[in-house]
Amino acid sequence: MTALMPNPLFCPFSTTEICHASTAFQSRPRTLFHKNPPPARARRSEGSSTDTTPTPDAEGFVESDLRAGGPTLCESPCETIRNIPTSLENYDRFLGPGSFQLMTKLNDICRNDNVRPDHMEFCGRRSMYEPNQHPVLTLRVVAKRNVPSQTSWTVVSRKLYHYLRGEGITNASVEIMDAKFEQSPGIYACVPSDRIFPIWKQVALQIFHQIDCRGVFTIGCFRIGNDNDRSKCPPTILLGVDRAVKRNWKPVRDTIVTILDNRGLFNVAVTIRKDNRLARANQIRSREGIPAADCRDDPNIGTSLSPSDREYEHGTLGGWVEVRNPENGNWVAFAITCAHCCFPEESSDSPEDLKAVQHWKQQGVRVGDNHKKRLLPVDSPSYRDVKSTLDRLADHIKESKSDDNYQEVERIRAEDGFVMPFLKSKWQMAVNEIAGYEKDRHNIKKFLNKNEASSRLGTVFAASGFREVSSTDDPNVLSLRDWALVRISPTRSVGNNRVTIEPNRQNKRTMLLNDFKPDLPKLGQQLFKVGRATGTTNGTYGNLKSCRIATRTVDGNEEYVPTFEHVMLADDKELIRQGTHVVAQGDSGSLVFDKTGSVLGIIFGGNGTENIGYFTATRDLISDIKHITGAQEIRIHGGSNQPQIS
């Protein structure tokens, strides 16, 4: 317990935070008459240490501890768009030749009110929850704020806004923020010495039963803080919730605080945060398309995969496994991924088809199912990736052919004229680029034509559906099953399980996945995965399972069910800040493995900020594959230790 009340500005803050309660501290000094004053906790809501939700004033200006502005302040977290169109009204005033005098005056306004900007710019701001909205033109001011009682930033932002209007710039909002507002805290695994560690399951279940779970995705426990040293970050109950569910989350937080205090867990904090998927425009662009070499008969680990009828979604081909046919003893190879990456939409006009899909989700896909061949074809690479790649190559060809030098030489050549050497060299560079792009397009189309004008990989052979099943390591709790085996079509072939990892920044290693490891990961063990969205990423085992809130419909009523899932955490806070995350949408189906190539599980999802991944452990995965398929022997294709897991 700390001796003094902490400054709420230095408690770990996240742009997705809804409300927070700190670890307990001594509420007042000990005296002769009060030798043991009651502990207290600092509370914060929507970024305000007054624990009241900030509300906009009549002009739309609003203020929290680390941020203020208006009249349009985007919901956090936000992205900054610096490529502002030159056609924008008054562009020259704030970004053109005349901008220096304007910025100087704006800086003076800030300093006159004791706000010292470290950085000031005009840019576009947009909530990451609304990627399709037009960015809001914003004067963004970054300054340091030491205490919440410092000069009101709302007053300053309003002065800036009205000055801009007086200068004819009427379409800009103002945002003043401390740099800490956009610095995400580190999330680390708890350790056995934490008082909550041995009783975490009981605490999680007590929270589940005592709160209203409407809108709650997960209940987890991690060490969370701004320090790179895990020991300086307090254990924290972390609730991931749905931002679309509009409710007062403070009673939920306070119920959890009461549970902790009654158990004497005063050193455990509470944070409730929005956990919906974020859409970062720069990352979306970087993920569009794939190398042309990925359109191959024997797809690699980490290649995208999708149902044939889902044009804009995809998961990951996690790897290649073999199952021994119990009837003839032959080993048969399959691609492994998640079931939810293979199932079609529930929008079929056929009631029979709709019933089949719903049954698969609840009961799994069995080996002898008659509907799967027609309803469960799978593409790899995904339709989205193939189309994006072809479109990108077409754009590159068009861009190269529109180059002025290229067009000039083409005109001269058509007239049998003389081409100057320097022009010819530039033309030749463009010709070589175009030839490379056209070769890639030809190879992709050739690949598609071999597969009946598609990237058809095969058909689901068996799948788990989305089932909550008793865990093999703790039969008293449930965990999710979400896997699928895809039988390869005759026009495709089995790939290899080759991966390249970097256990540390000085050491890169290429190896084959070699076996299924039935043991659970060790505490804090380094983990790896290869996914379509984030590629190869390093992580660490989260030590404590997170409680995932599943829903079931029983007699027409929706019921909440707690499941406990293994966790993979990003293991480098600085890389997270640079945009390298551990699991993102599109990574489901990735196998989790260690530095020796032993497979420890399969990723089925992650959180909205992409620094937590959830996976099913190998023991649960293999047990369920046996249950669904009737097979008794399963191994990694091409593994060094065979046969495996029987």
Is the per-residue pLDDT at 122 higher than 60? Answer: yes
94 or 351, higher pLDDT: 351
Contact 599, 605 (CB under 8 A): no
Dihedral angle computed from the Cα positions of residues 387, 393, 395 and 401, in that order, rounded to the nearest 10 degrees: -150
Q: Are residues 543 and 616 in the same domain?
A: yes
Q: What is the pLDDT of residues 449-476, one digit of tens each?
A: 988 778 999 999 999 999 999 999 999 9
Residue 523's identity, in one-letter code, is L
Same domain, 399 and 468: no
pLDDT at 571: 76
Q: What is the 3-state secondary structure (H, E, C) of 437-462?
A: HHHHHHHHHHHHHHCCCCCEEEEEEE
Count of CB atoms within 10 A of residue 346's CB?
Answer: 11
pTM of the full predicted structure? 0.90
Average pLDDT over residues 515-535: 93
Q: What is the pLDDT of residue 33?
A: 62
Residue 293 lies in a domain: no
Q: Any idea what the CATH number is for the domain that residue 591 is in?
A: 2.40.10.10
Residue 37 shares a structural domain with residue 170:
no
Task: Reply yes or no on whether the pLDDT at 645 is more than 50.
Answer: no
d(CA 18, CA 13): 10
Residue 381, preceding peptide bond in cis (omega within 30° of 0): yes
Q: Are residues 264 and 161 in the same domain?
A: no
| pLDDT tens digits along 353-377 | 889 999 999 999 999 998 999 999 9
User: Do 243 and 152 belong to one domain?
Assistant: no
Shared domain check, 127 and 221:
no
What's the CA gap between 344 and 359, in Å, rounded?
13
Q: What does the pLDDT look like over 135-175, one tens digit per residue? A: 999 999 999 987 655 568 999 999 999 999 999 899 999 99
Cα–Cα distance measured from residue 13 to residue 77, given in angstroms and rounded to the nearest whole number: 12
Q: CA-CA distance, 59 to 154, in Å (whole number)?
A: 11
Interval 37-54 mean pLDDT: 87
Going by pLDDT thresholds of 50, 70 and 90, the confidence category of residue 609 is confident
pLDDT, position 285: 36
Mean pLDDT of 526-549: 94
Higher-scoring residue by pLDDT: 556, 597: 597
Q: Check if the beta carbon of residue 14 is closer than 8 Å to that of residue 183.
A: no
* CA–CA dist 374, 522 (Å, integer): 42
Return the SS3 of 506.
coil
Task: For residue 193, tell me if it sits in a domain.
Answer: yes
Q: How far apart are CA 614 and CA 209, in angstroms?
A: 22
Q: Are 429 and 305 within one domain? A: no
Statement: residue 27 has pLDDT above 90: no
Establish if 19 belongs to a structural domain. yes
Task: Say whether both 463 and 499 belong to one domain.
Answer: yes
- Indicate if 548 and 465 belong to the same structural domain: yes
Q: Which structural domain, as residue segments, surrounds residue 257? A: 8-48+184-274
Hey, what are 442's tokens? Answer: 């030809």
Higher pLDDT, residue 213 or 53:
213
The CA distance from 187 to 602, in Å, is 21
Q: What is the pLDDT of residue 626?
A: 97
Res. 532: pLDDT tops 80 = yes
In this predicted model, what pLDDT tens digit does every residue of 62-85 receive, in sequence order?
999 999 999 999 999 999 999 888
Looking at residue 149, its pLDDT comes to 53
- Please name the residue that has the structure tokens 């495996």: 644
Of 425, 450, 475, which residue is a domain's last?
450
pLDDT at 468: 95
Coil, strand or helix at 359: helix
Q: What is the pLDDT of residue 286?
A: 38
Measured distance CA(408)–CA(540) in Å, rounded: 56
Per residue in 234-256, pLDDT (tens digit) is 999 999 999 999 999 999 999 99
261 located within any domain = yes
pLDDT at 30 over 90: no
Q: Is residue 625 part of a domain?
A: yes
Indicate whether 508 and 611 sit together in one domain: yes
**Two structure tokens written together for 630:** 């009737």
- 535: nearest Cα among 491, 587, 573: 587
Whole-number Å distance between alpha carbons of 619 and 523: 17
Check residue 540 and give its pLDDT: 94
In a domain, 196, yes or no: yes
Residue 552 has pLDDT above 90, yes or no: no
Closest CA relative to residue 4, chosen from 35, 30, 37, 27? 27
| Residue 289 maps to a domain | no
Predicted confidence band of residue 348 (pLDDT cuts 50, 70, 90): low
Q: What is the pLDDT of residues 408-452, one digit of tens each?
A: 988 988 888 888 888 889 999 999 999 999 999 999 999 999 887
* C-alpha count within 13 angstroms, C-beta hemisphere, residue 162: 8
Last residue of a domain, one of 177, 200, 229: 177
pLDDT at 570: 87
Distance of alpha carbon 289 from alpha carbon 306, whole angstroms: 14
- Per-residue pLDDT at 352: 87
Residues 90 and 202 placed together within one structural domain of the fold: no
| 3-state SS assignment for residue 174 | strand
pLDDT at 608: 83
344 occurs within a structural domain: yes
What's the pLDDT at 22? 93
Between 13 and 129, the higher pLDDT residue: 129
Contact call for residues 41 and 26 (beta carbons, < 8 A): no
Who wins on pLDDT, 339 or 641?
A: 339
SS3 assignment, position 119: strand
Are the beta carbons of 500 and 512 closer than 8 angstroms? no
Radius of gyration of the chain (CA): 28
| Domain-terminating residue out of 428, 450, 472 | 450
Residue 98 has pLDDT above 80, yes or no: no
Amino acid code (one letter) for 114: N
pLDDT at res. 266: 94
pLDDT digits (tens, 9 = 90+) for 175-219: 999 998 988 888 999 999 999 999 999 999 999 999 999 999 999
Q: What total of structural domains would you count in the chain? A: 4
- Which has the closest alpha carbon to 320: 639, 535, 534? 639
pLDDT of 573 higher than 60: no
The answer on pLDDT for 407 being more than 80 is yes
Residues 96, 130 share a domain: yes
Q: Taken in order 442, 443, 448, 449, is the CA torsion positive or negative?
A: positive
The DSSP element (H or E) to which 488 belongs, if any, is strand 484-488
